[in-house]
Structure 1
Amino acid sequence: MARKAKGSAINGRTIRHAEYKTSLIIRKRIEEIFGWVKTVGGLKKAGFTGLSKVNTQTIITFAAYNLTRRATIFGWRWSAA
């Protein structure tokens, strides 16, 4: 018995617009930030107890991401080689 190929749940009228493609690009950019924060920044699981401590950890992690991003953009990173 042959299996049917599953298609997308989004119809062709949505996919054909330029705004949809732009939305996907922006969504990917945002998901990359949160992926970095979870894996590298250590916010997959909060390391502290208490709202103020977790809030501080979050702010510091996002500040570190911003510094890392700026270092990449402006070429401030040291060579790993």
Structure 2
Amino acid sequence: MAIKIEKGIPLPNKTSRRIYPFDKMEIGDSFLVKLNTDVKISIQKQKIYLASWRFSQLHPETKFTTASFQNEVRVWRI
């Protein structure tokens, strides 16, 4: 299989894949995520925790905390 090298092809614009409104939150704000009972709850919770951690790593001036309930996770900016 021969792979052709091409020149002058521009990179596509990056789109934001952000699901949660971390960038719009002020200290004391929170949001609630209702979890899908058809998908493993622990995996969904981990994804939310990881998303808030990643955002705070890219924006060190922000910090978040979370609390999980049966089928919900609430995220606060602190």
Could you say whether these structures have the same fold, taking a TM-score greater than 0.5 normalized by the shorter chain as the test? no
Larger Rg, first or second structure (1 or 2): 1
Structure with the largest fraction of strand = 2
TM-score, normalised on structure 2? 0.30
TM-score, normalised on structure 1? 0.29
